[in-house]
């Protein structure tokens, strides 16, 4: 017998309502336990919610197609029930939180705002180093964000320098079985045919000046 699925979520109504009930209970327990230490209760609550979402998605063969739909419905129903705190984005953060951390690795010294910044960092070593710094120096979420932004800007600049060192022919390669559009920004000499960089695009190049004049050249 084929189980009916919801068009909104892609999973059966029974599974969805079970998920919604579990998440509601996790959050309600956190509210109860939070009288002593709300920050710690909130962190573990978010981790457990992420765990439930991931397990439901892993049990669904179409999780890639329906994952976002599940979060959309959860966001609507949870916000309706609890008022706020369950945006689709925040639910994605909770899911990622569970995927990146084990429960024993959670540090109650940090707040959820710290972890949102940390889970956006792809490099595990950089993430661990930043986490350690935030704990050892007792950085507030605002201070930590400024430092993370500074580190990210430095890495972006370094990556940009590395890209500039590569010849243009290595940075603009024609894809196999595909068609990409490239925009090359540079000052052109009056002799446009000789002024263009030697890039093999395999089709006509449209040259548009800042004044809006357009001309076609063959390369």
Residue 142 and residue 156 in one domain: yes
| Residue-level pLDDT at 35 | 73
Residue 83 and residue 128 in one domain: no
| Residue-level pLDDT at 84 | 85
End position of a domain, from candidates 86, 108, 130: 108
- In angstroms, rounded to a whole number, what is the distance separating the alpha carbons of residues 207 and 216? 6
| Residue-level pLDDT at 8 | 61
| SS3 of residue 99 by DSSP | helix
Residue 160 and residue 174 in one domain: no
- In angstroms, rounded to a whole number, what is the distance separating the alpha carbons of residues 69 and 82? 20
Residue 154 and residue 172 in one domain: no
Residue 98 and residue 155 in one domain: no
Domain that holds residue 13: 1-108
Residue 137 and residue 213 in one domain: no
**Is residue 215 in some structural domain?**
yes
Other CB atoms within 10 Å distance of the CB of residue 104: 5
**53 neighbors 66 (Cβ within 8 angstroms):** no
Residue 76 and residue 90 in one domain: yes
Residue 85 and residue 16 in one domain: yes
| Residue-level pLDDT at 108 | 95
Show the tokens assigned to 15. 């599974």
Query: Per-10-residue mean pLDDT for the chain, 219 residues long?
Result: 50 89 95 84 96 82 64 94 92 95 96 96 94 96 94 70 54 54 55 50 51 48
Residue 8 and residue 66 in one domain: yes
**Is residue 30 in some structural domain?**
yes
Comparing CA positions, the residue from 55, 66, 84 lying closest to residue 8 is 66
| Residue-level pLDDT at 82 | 92
Comparing CA positions, the residue from 97, 117, 96 lying closest to residue 106 is 97
- In angstroms, rounded to a whole number, what is the distance separating the alpha carbons of residues 74 and 15? 12
Comparing CA positions, the residue from 169, 25, 182, 47 lying closest to residue 104 is 47
**Is residue 115 in some structural domain?**
no
Count of structural domains within the chain: 3
**Is residue 180 in some structural domain?**
yes
DSSP class of residue 178 equals: -
| SS3 of residue 90 by DSSP | helix
């Amino acid at each position: 017998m084929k189980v009916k699925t919801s068009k909104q979520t892609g999973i059966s109504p029974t599974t969805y309502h079970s998920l919604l009930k579990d998440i509601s209970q996790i959050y309600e327990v956190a509210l109860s336990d939070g009288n002593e230490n709300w920050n710690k209760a909130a962190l573990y609550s978010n981790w457990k919610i992420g765990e439930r979402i991931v397990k439901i998605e892993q049990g669904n063969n179409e999780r890639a197609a329906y994952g976002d739909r599940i979060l959309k419905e959860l966001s609507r129903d949870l916000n309706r029930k609890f008022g706020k705190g369950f945006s689709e984005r925040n639910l994605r953060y909770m899911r990622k939180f569970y995927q990146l951390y084990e429960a024993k690795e959670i540090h109650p010294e940090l707040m959820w705002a710290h972890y949102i910044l940390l889970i956006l960092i792809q490099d595990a070593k950089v993430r661990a180093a930043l986490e350690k710094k935030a704990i050892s120096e007792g950085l507030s979420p605002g201070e930590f964000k400024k430092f993370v932004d500074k580190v990210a800007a430095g890495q972006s600049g370094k990556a940009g320098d590395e890209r500039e060192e590569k010849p243009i022919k290595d940075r603009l390669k024609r894809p196999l079985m595909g068609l990409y559009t490239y925009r090359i920004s540079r000052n052109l000499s009056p002799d446009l045919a000789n002024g263009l960089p030697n890039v093999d695009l395999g089709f006509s190049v449209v040259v548009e000046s800042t004044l809006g004049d357009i001309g076609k050249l063959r390369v």
